[in-house]
Structure 1
């Protein structure tokens, strides 16, 4: 768990009986956990079912919080098909397991700190590779159409580089030296520098605390940058003001990202797979090839882009050669 937001970073399950279906309601459980002790609930307790999103045959469960330096860092859940009555000896045993698990997490973070410099070298190398790939794409774009405004192209490129830098800056400020990024913080940071010259545009946010790997965050940063850039450029032509809404939710083991505006919408019969625009072509390639996700676009009171990215799917880097095929 993230100790600042209580957002779930990762989960691990072990089932003796594979037929048992259970999904805890983490928000309700977190509301009750307040200190370092074992919590026990059974179907005899009023409101027992509110602790579950899905419950098939579970009659009792135990929660054992993991604390590191007096901060909640995780929870062990143990579920029973019957109303289980535990002993004082079992409580001490569970508390010992929780203490050892917390120490293991803490030690892992210390090890992570010691190798952070080495990982930083890899990240910087990957960042530079991404920048080189983007520069190659823009160079080819100018060759295909020399009439394009070079200043505008350079502004676009610098904006994308700033988005990559924003991810690296957030990572460098993580107190626990983790290689994960909160998408909420990243999106707000990107929009902040992009909106600084467009005060007439209002931004609305509905953002969950979602933690993803550094590589995935960098790819999503480029996508958000391009979609917001597209709205700022084309949505509000001839208008004195406008609104852009960004939604990021975690549902069914997927990240649901929506970027919409109340502008003029996409051109009639617009198809992102056939567009000649470099920016949206990059977006489509990142979502479908690098992140193995899906993207939908629609015009309804403006432009709306819906993106779904599977969290567990391992992302892969796109080479310069693959990007140049866009």
Structure 2
């Protein structure tokens, strides 16, 4: 009705029998409403135009027929295109929901499988007669469990198919490690990291790096102490991202042969295009992992 009124008001401007202002009406109805609203709008516009247009300028029958002959097919075609786009968007939304559901199920099953594998290895370790083999199996079980914990943290702090905030992810991971030690000895954690969104794949590697470094600190830094502090920091500097795990324990010999955990951290850092640096400071050990920011942060 607004288009009909506008078309009559500007009838002298649109000399002759022309229906330009009815096209926006069809377009708006087709976009805002569903179930063939665009087709209905086209029909109603054609009926109103045939019966009541124009007020100011009389139109010959041939001109009226020609105008309607153009208007109706164009309105129908416009509606068909919009309906097709709406159908495609619905299918995309449905496919995305299905993809996220399947991915969540995969993450859930993977996490459960990892924890089950860790339990089986631990059971085998407890029953093995060789102390060295038992220790190696127990370390393997601990690392498999760490992978499961990382997946659990990723599932809890981010979109299953997107990115996770670094600060929330590291804070959640360290909180979980702290809860595992509750009642054993009061080790405090301090986390200082930016809220930068990083790839889930990169977050998994960073989680394993931090998990391994924190575990090593808890294992070796506080042998003769009942308490201590572990600080996890991350920041961006230029094109690099620095991740530091530092404790206030006994310190670490720089020239010591790297163990399995240190080699694992080095390999994970190398896979991301970075490197690891260990320094022994007064009152603790400091391990810094330097990674290229481009490998962590999605391109804008």
TM-score range relative to shorter protein = 0.5 to 0.7
1:170 lines up with 2:153 in the alignment: no
List per-residue Cα deviations over 1:159-195 (Å, max 9, x = no partner): 3321222112323xx4xx6510111111111111111
| Separation (CA, whole Å) in 2 of partners of 1:131 and 1:282 | 20
Q: Tell me the residue number matched to 1:184.
A: 167
Find 2:291's aligned residue among 295, 299, 309: 309
State how 1:254-273 maps to structure 2 within 5 Å. 254-270=240-256
Q: Tell me the residue number matched to 2:270.
A: 288
Q: Tell me the residue number matched to 2:33.
A: none
Deviation (angstroms), 1:286: 0.5
Compute the TM-score of the two structures, normalised by the length of structure 2.
Answer: 0.55
Contact persistence 2:192–2:232 (CA under 8 A): yes
State how 1:127-276 maps to structure 2 within 5 Å. 145-148=132-135, 150-151=137-138, 153-171=140-158, 174=159, 179-196=162-179, 197-198=181-182, 200-270=186-256, 274-275=257-258
Q: Using a 3 Å threshold, how does the CA distance of structure 1 residues 258 and 161 change in structure 2: closer, same or farther?
A: same
SS in 1 for 2:133: coil
More strand by share: 1
Rg: which structure is higher?
2
Deviation (angstroms), 1:211: 1.1
Equivalenced residues, count = 199
1:117 lines up with 2:89 in the alignment: no
Q: Using a 3 Å threshold, how does the CA distance of structure 1 residues 146 and 225 change in structure 2: closer, same or farther?
A: same
Aligned-pair Cα RMSD in Å = 3.9
Contact persistence 1:253–1:312 (CA under 8 A): yes
Q: Tell me the residue number matched to 2:278.
A: 297
List per-residue Cα deviations over 1:89-132 (Å, max 9, x = no partner): xxxxxxxxxxxxxxxxxx99998556423555676788799889
Deviation (angstroms), 1:230: 0.5
SS in 1 for 2:250: coil
Find 2:261's aligned residue among 279, 283, 286: 279
Q: Which runs of 5+ in 1 are unaligned?
A: 1-106, 316-326
List per-residue Cα deviations over 1:247-282 (Å, max 9, x = no partner): 111221322111100111113512xxx52x222211
Q: Which runs of 5+ in 2 are unaligned?
A: 1-89
